[in-house]
Amino acid sequence: MKANGLLIYEIIYIIITVLTSLKVILDTRSSTKTLAYLMLIVFVPIIGILVYFSFGINYRKKKLYSKKILQDDRLETQVREHIKKYSAAIYEQGGIELADKERMYSYLLNEGNSALTGNNNVQLLFNGEEKFPLVLERLRKAQTHIHIEYYIYEDDLIGNEIADILIEKVLQGVEVRFIYDDFGSLAIHKKLVKKLIQGGVKAFPFYRIKILAFANRLNYRNHRKIIVIDGIIGFVGGINVSDKYINSEKIHNKLYWRDTHLMIEGPGVYYLQYLFLADWNFCAKANLQPTDLFFPRLLFRREYGNKIVQMASSGPDSENPTIQYTILQAIALTKNELIITSPYFIPGESILEGLTIAAYSGVKIKLLVPGVSDSFFVNAAAHSYYEELLKAGVEIYKYQKGFVHAKTLVVDRSLAIIGTANMDHRSFELNFEVNALVYDPQIANDLASAFERDILDAKKMDYYIWLNRPFYKKLIEKICRLLSPLL
């Protein structure tokens, strides 16, 4: 009797395993990711199936929420047409900064409805010691509204200083809305969020973590770092709200933190505002509409500067991995030099092949990565890509001064990309991300100069030394690479 019962359980398990495997094959777009999940299901009984249903479901098909904020379809069509005409006019006015970039601008316009905007003032901000004083200054000058959205917001000195200003601005009649990621900002749940709400700030977590769906919700996080002030000024980039990003004697951090952020003033802020409103309507279950308060028309009538800006965003709410495609487009557009900084470099096969082809075609590619990652598995998976790139002639530098957290890319010193997205599967497929593209030689050269300063504090990797590392390390790296879609 016991033997028969055991046989029934075995048959049920085999049926479940086969059905789950079929679902993986049918529902997973990436062959590498498919193989990783199939291996997990076969070689790690029961747990592998649980992991897949917790982390592996293709939510890009199911869409967590819609970014649609215009309820009138006819009005939405009119807005799209206006965006296309405006972008075409900016492209026609552009000079050398837009030369050979039509495919990039057209892709983001057609796939993401992201306008090519002109007349922007753009300022690069290196590390927290440059970002936060400017953020505090601009927040204090807010007149109508402040919108803030962060993956990590800490209950520390800078976190409380910003919170105090937000509460002060509410007392002055400014509307303040605050989105914090429910996982990344765990530290503020107990006190700081209550303090903000009591002070009149409207605050909501993004995709609240619930016990019954913990793993699933843990996987799809809002990794964006956005501030929009009065619909005119925007901040975006890699720097979260935390004291660890500030390298000063006052803070006494043990680790030097190297990061890059961006301030934009002008029409380029429109897309950041659009993303915030979409995220807000999802989090707060609200229905904020794009009024003149949020999208001041004067932005198109004033010249804040001469920079051309466009945004790329993606997440489980988008049809395609737009940011990944943008990077592939950037690689394809590069003629002479490509400069990349990434704290988590697990590019996947498509970007690896793109970089390899570009390097063999004579493009000079430089890559800056952390000397030591904060994750053994991520570090090992990243190492598995270096041999192929080094062999193709890519220069790889490991940062030694501290931890490099910047996510930047420079194409031919004419296009600069600064944002929140790492060059890995999680940022491409699972997280909500946003990158700013600045079509400008000055900004691109400034970012390239920062890279050249950074590699003074880095070690350049040698292909032959790396090739002769121990066999067991290569094996571990290859295994981690195979499992990298799950990291």
Q: Residues with catalytic annotation?
A: 223, 225, 230, 405, 407, 412
Residues 6+ apart with CB under 8 A from 179: 148, 149, 150, 203, 204, 205, 206, 222, 276, 279, 280, 283
- Return the SS3 of 326: helix
Taking the CA atoms of the chain, what radius of gyration do you get in angstroms?
A: 23
Is the Cβ–Cβ distance between 308 and 117 less than 8 Å? yes
319-355 b/e with 16+ CB inside 10 Å = b? eebbbbbbbbbbbebbeeebbbbbbbbbbbebbbebb
CA-to-CA distance for 359 and 260, rounded, in angstroms?
26
Is the Cβ–Cβ distance between 129 and 111 less than 8 Å? no
CA-to-CA distance for 383 and 3, rounded, in angstroms?
48
Please provide the distance, in angstroms rounded to a whole number, between the alpha carbons at the two ends of the chain: 43
Note the helical H segments in 188-335: 192-198, 214-219, 269-283, 322-333
Note the helical H segments in 172-312: 192-198, 214-219, 269-283
Q: Look up residue 355 and give its two tokens.
A: 């970089």
Is the Cβ–Cβ distance between 207 and 195 less than 8 Å? no
Is the Cβ–Cβ distance between 255 and 402 less than 8 Å? yes
* The one-letter amino acid at 214: F
Is the Cβ–Cβ distance between 445 and 271 less than 8 Å? no
CA-to-CA distance for 11 and 22, rounded, in angstroms?
17
Residue 473 C-beta-side C-alpha neighbours within 13 Å: 14
Note the helical H segments in 238-310: 269-283
Angle at 139 between CA 302 and CA 119, to 5 degrees: 20
Q: Which helix H or strand E contains 380, and what residues bound it? A: helix 376-392
Is the Cβ–Cβ distance between 181 and 193 less than 8 Å? no
Q: Which helix H or strand E contains 234, and what residues bound it? A: strand 233-237
